[in-house]
């Protein structure tokens, strides 16, 4: 069973700083299915990155994804006030099924 672990659990930063979020898979996975979402209270999750590094349409270029194998990173440069949210990674876990990480909260 594929398990995604995200760290840190909470990241406390100020606007203008850079956030570096980690997603680690329990087994080596394909970048093809590694996806990142942003989730704010009372809203639906929003797709940020697919294929580990491709930005979804309309996503600002301050959001970037990288990684391969078991280690993936979401970097948010020049944090804006609207970027404070919870971020989840997701991957196809076979069977077929999908699994999400537990999330990283980016707070002021």
Q: Partners of 50 in the beta sheet?
A: 54
Whole-angstrom Cα distance, residue 51 to residue 15?
27
Site for another protein in 14-43 (CB under 8 A): 32-33, 35, 37, 39, 43
Choose the binding region for another protein from 15-23, 46-54, 61-69, 71-79 (rule: CB under 8 A).
46-54
Q: 1 or 14: whose CB is closer to another protein? A: 1
Q: 22 or 92: whose CB is closer to another protein? A: 92
Tokens found for residue 101 = 């990480």
Outline where DSSP puts E strands in 14-53: 19-29, 35-39, 46-50
Q: 28 or 43: whose CB is closer to another protein? A: 43
């Amino acid at each position: 069973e594929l398990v995604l672990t995200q760290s840190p659990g909470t990241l406390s930063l100020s606007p203008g700083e850079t956030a570096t979020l980690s997603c680690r898979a329990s087994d080596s996975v394909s970048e093809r299915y590694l996806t990142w979402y942003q989730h704010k209270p009372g809203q639906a999750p929003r797709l940020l990155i697919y294929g580990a590094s491709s930005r979804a349409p309309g996503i600002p270029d301050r959001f970037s994804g990288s990684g391969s194998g078991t280690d993936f990173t979401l970097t948010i440069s020049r944090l804006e006030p609207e970027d404070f949210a919870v971020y989840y990674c997701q991957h196809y876990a076979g069977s077929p099924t999908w699994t999400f990480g537990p999330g990283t909260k980016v707070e002021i």
